[in-house]
Amino acid sequence: MAQAPPNKMKARPDPPFLMDGDYTTYVNSSVKERVEILRNQCIEVHRPQENYFKAVAREHNRFRARIQADPELKEWKHDFMTEKDSGVLRRILAQRTLLALCTDESLKKKDEHLVFGRKQKELTPPPPGFDPKKYDGMYRTPDVRFQITSNLTFNKYNPIPVYCDVSNTLDELKTNIPDTLAFQYINVNVVDPVKEIHLANAIEMANESPNNRGSLKPILFKHSREMFYGYCGFSCSKLCGCDGKCDLNAMFLIEKNLFPLEIFRPDPIIGFGIRSPVFIPAGTPVMEFTGEIMSRKRVGSENNYTYQCSYHNDDKWRLFLGQQPRFNDNYRKLLLALHQIDYYVDPTFYGNVGRMAAHSCCPNMEMIRIFRESLSPAHLSFVMVTLEDVFPGTPLTIDYGSLYELESCKCNSFACRSGPNADVFKKFNTLSLTNVIRKIHNVRRQNFQRSVLDPMQKFASKTERMDN
């Protein structure tokens, strides 16, 4: 059973698919009919009579057991950031947040030394009344939830349920299912071969000649000025000697569907978002953002979901190309021509869970552009990587960037650009902002330790004593 539509092309094969529910009817239906199908699946779900944190601990245990049972995950560290790593990542997060706060170009220029420079000895304290406990990031689900579907992907290997936590009754929910939810789920980017002839050629030429693809030498840009999708790298793949199982395969955990994800609606204005019931360490690739790759002229002006994935005159990309002497001349010419065009990933009709990520002015994920097997825009993927430790249930967010106009942001992060502290924090330097983020991270870590890990440990010791 194909997952991607038959009239589209893709640079990568689809992952394994085991049908869950009536997928065939769903994909062959119109958007209106799909909404009707979803409407008929809506149910009320009650959490078993137990403490919320007990449910979190159960999920945590189950997840740990899954990791331990997988020999390929032996090296993967499912734990808090170490103090050394956390310093680096917090600084990156602070820089991102500061740059985004300073939207005024002149201010950004004037204060650049405060953001990047060395003059950072003095520490500005958080404003009076600032309470890091207010930013624990926790989203506690209501005891009764409304489930729209148990699996939006229709794939048993990658089940993603959808909940709406803002409806009061099942009937109210049924009248409020948006069309935007009825997109076709894809795990791999697709290309329309009729409308994007050059991209289709690039896929074919890469498939035809082993010279045009292969395991690319990894170059990872660590410079903190690289923002959002400007950040770019390579991912190792099955074509590599390690069979795609080394640390350089940014898609490894994603292809394993390691992290259980849920789509949920916490607020009528924010709409749907994403969360995971398990702990995800900082620096982890969690999911891909998939869609249809298309040139700028095909992207609608009202599109809320699209991200630019390639840029004309992209110096970084030229550097990559320079390192690939094996590519055939014709392929090289095609790539050079393709990279004069701005391409976008549009998940409006074909997409995945990534399109549901809400915006935050201090996000816990970042999109990274990853080339795999070759260097055409069709071989590019957006990978969403955590910028900080994400504790169970916390909404997974990205920064939509300064070009995206949100009427009023409801991210509730400490440095929200429409929040009360924006003017104060934009005068901070990176060191001072890192210090604020550290205080917030400490609160989150302590909460998790106290409410989930410590009781789990106590319970395990008690059981052990009873067994003896």
Ligand X SMILES: C[S@@+](CC[C@H](N)C(=O)[O-])C[C@H]1O[C@@H](n2cnc3c(N)ncnc32)[C@H](O)[C@@H]1O
The yes or no reply on residue 270 touching ligand X (CB under 6 A) is yes
Rounded distance between C-alpha atoms, residue 148 and residue 265, angstroms: 10
Which of 55/406 has CB closer to ligand X?
406
Rounded distance between C-alpha atoms, residue 376 and residue 341, angstroms: 11
What lies within 8 Å, CB to CB, of 328 at 6+ separation is 205, 209, 211, 212
Taking CB under 6 A as the criterion, the residue among 410, 438, 439, 445 binding ligand X is 410
Query: Least Å distance between CB 136 and ligand X?
Result: 17
Which of 244/351 has CB closer to ligand X?
351
Q: Residue 345 is which amino acid?
A: V
Q: Which span (75-83, 223-231, 310-318, 407-415) binds ligand X, by CB under 6 A?
A: 407-415
The Cα angle at residue 354 between residues 70 and 59, in degrees rounded to 5: 40
The yes or no reply on residue 162 touching ligand X (CB under 6 A) is no
Q: Which span (19-27, 219-227, 268-276, 447-455) binds ligand X, by CB under 6 A?
A: 268-276
Query: Least Å distance between CB 48 and ligand X?
Result: 28
CB of 250 within 8 A of CB of 235?
A: yes
The yes or no reply on residue 180 touching ligand X (CB under 6 A) is yes
The yes or no reply on residue 336 touching ligand X (CB under 6 A) is no
Query: Least Å distance between CB 80 and ligand X?
Result: 26
The yes or no reply on residue 295 touching ligand X (CB under 6 A) is no
3-state secondary structure 108-161: HHHCHHHHCCCCCCCCCCCCCCCCHHHHCCCCCCCCEEEEEECCCCCECCCCCC
Rounded distance between C-alpha atoms, residue 153 and residue 185, angstroms: 6
Strands 343-346 and 350-351: unpaired
One character per residue 20-59, x = contact with ligand X (rule: CB under 6 A): ----------------------------------------
One character per residue 340-359, x = contact with ligand X (rule: CB under 6 A): ---------------xx-xx
Which of 40/408 has CB closer to ligand X?
408
The Cα angle at residue 388 between residues 385 and 390, in degrees rounded to 5: 90
* Interface with ligand X: number of residues (CB under 6 A): 15
What lies within 8 Å, CB to CB, of 121 at 6+ separation is 431
Q: Which residues bind ligand X (CB under 6 A)?
A: 180, 269-272, 304-305, 355-356, 358-359, 406, 409-411
